[in-house]
Structure 1
């Protein structure tokens, strides 16, 4: 997905945290990176 967004210069608007539509949240790159790196 990231490669497609980079190639076509598409923004990432939301991130899914589950299987339902209600599990979509606005994408925040800084919070996402902190979560991946487990930084508080």
Structure 2
């Protein structure tokens, strides 16, 4: 594998983890007030 490929994979992975963490944080903020969930 070239360095470019590794860099690309790391970028995709970090984006994935960032999105995952953000979504988990959003779930945590949604839990106390279920009425704010809307139509999930």
Structure 2 length-normalised TM? 0.28
| Between structures 1 and 2, the one with greater strand share | 1
| Between structures 1 and 2, the one with greater helix share | 2
Determine which structure has greater relative contact order: mean sequence separation of CA pairs < 8 Å that are 6+ residues apart, divided by chain length: 1
Structure 1 length-normalised TM? 0.28
* Greater Rg over alpha carbons, structure: 2
